[in-house]
Amino acid sequence: MKSVSFIIPNYNAESTIDKTVTSILNQKYQGKFEIIAVDDKSTDKSVKVLSKFKKYKNFRLIKNEKNIGLANSLNKAIGLSKYNILAIVWCDFILIGEDWLNKMIEKFSSDNKIACVMSNLMLPKEVWKKYDFWNKVNTIEEYNRSVKGKVFGKLTLFDKNKIKEVGMYDSKTFRTAGEDTDLRLKLLKRNYKIVLEDTKIVHLHGFYKLSLLDRLFRKALPLAEASGVLFRKHFYLNSKYRNALVYSFIYLFALVPNFIQPLFLVILGLILFTHMFSVFKHVKDIKILLVPFYKLFKDLISLFGFWKGFITGKQEF
């Protein structure tokens, strides 16, 4: 059986990291595997939680002396890993099923051109319903995909040699977001295969204890900035980036005085209230009336981040 190095980048995941590590330790896998958790100078109690796993011989905890960012932390852990197959698992993920790794390795071994195997990322109802109101609003799109059975493949199992060949994670360009999409695009440009296996990962969303402003400025803004960088670097146009371009056009004509402003104000209103009703299908709360205003503010922050990333070519927030 092939040997695997699990890598868990951790930052302030006190509420989820225990479940993440436990789901890995529960794997019924006959081959060797190690777990490397790299903590990026967390300010909560997640290091204390991780320390209890030191009793396992195949577990290592690496504590960064200062916060160096996600991409740098991943590269650091990869450099310290023993094995050629890497399973990179975020600190708010849970692997579903004790045979998750067996299935992923079987797919990985089916073709030597495979650089990465993806697993289905899910947000089940039993997890989503525990969130507070604003986290339900923030994760409504991911939740709707899960409800409809529309999977979202998350890069999980990697060939370390192929990652090194394309330059690892780009830590000079990406600090806290966008590094995984960038890596995927670099691998595809080398004509390596990225395939999806029918396995599942539950996304707990470890940020659900953040304040409303933190959700906007520590999550939405960096993600949007990374999108702008990726658009510039790879001219990559998925639905998220197309939306950024379309929304830029709509907001420009809706908020800047011009002769067709009334038309675009109507279009903008329809977008905001359509989003409100998509949330209302699942959440019955008087705060639903604030959702259009929240989306307006979030969109403006995201558009600022997108174009900042596009202009500067770096994801820094």
Whether residue 294 is predicted with pLDDT greater than 90 in this model: the reply is: yes
The pLDDT score that the predictor gives to residue 224 is 94
Burial of 67 (0-12, 13-18, 19+ CB in 10 A): middle
pLDDT over 90, % of the chain: 81
Mean pLDDT of 118-139: 91
Question: Could you please report the per-residue DSSP string of 77-90?
Answer: HHHH--SSEEEE--
* Alpha-carbon gap, residue 24 to 19, rounded angstroms: 9
Give the total residue count for the chain. Answer: 317
**Joined tokens for residue 216:** 């906007």
- Encoding tokens for residue 217? 């400025």
Q: Burial letters for 261-287: b for 16+ Cβ neighbours within 10 Å, e otherwise?
A: eeebeeebeebbeebbeebeeebeeee
CA distance 317 to 309: 10
pLDDT band of residue 233 (cuts 50, 70, 90) is very high
Q: What is the pTM of this model?
A: 0.91
The Cα–Cα gap between 29 and 1 comes to 9
Domains (ranges, CATH) in the chain? 4-209 (3.90.550.10), 213-312 (no CATH)
The answer to whether the beta carbons of residues 86 and 165 sit under 8 Å apart is no
Average pLDDT, the chain: 93
Q: What are phi and psi of 314, to 5 degrees?
A: -140, 145
Question: In the beta sheet, which residues pair with residue 87?
Answer: 6, 157
> Residue 151: its pLDDT value, please?
72
Q: Is the pLDDT of residue 293 over 80?
A: yes
CA-to-CA distance for 156 and 224, rounded, in angstroms?
22
Q: Report residue 258 as tokens.
A: 């011009």
Q: What is the three-class DSSP state of 271?
A: helix
pLDDT band at 147, cuts 50/70/90?
confident
266 Cβ contact list (under 8 Å, min separation 6): none
pLDDT per position as a tens digit, 80-117: 999 999 999 999 999 999 999 999 999 999 999 999 99
- 153-181 pLDDT, tens digit per residue, is 899 999 999 999 999 999 999 988 999 99
Task: Quick: pLDDT tens for 28-64.
Answer: 999 999 999 999 999 999 999 999 999 999 999 999 9
Residue 99, exposed/middle/buried by CB under 10 A (0-12, 13-18, 19+)?
A: middle
What percentage of residues in the chain have a pLDDT greater than 70?
Answer: 97
- Which residue has 């495979």 as its token pair? 114
Q: Is 165 left (phi over 0), alpha (psi -120 to 50) or beta?
A: alpha
Q: Which pLDDT score is estimated for 272?
A: 96
Q: What letters, b where the CB count within 10 A reaches 16 and e where it falls short, cover 6-19?
A: bbbbbbbbbbbbeb
234-256 pLDDT per residue, tens:
987 666 667 888 999 999 999 99
The predicted pLDDT at position 241 comes to: 66
Greatest distance between any 2 Cα atoms in the chain: 69
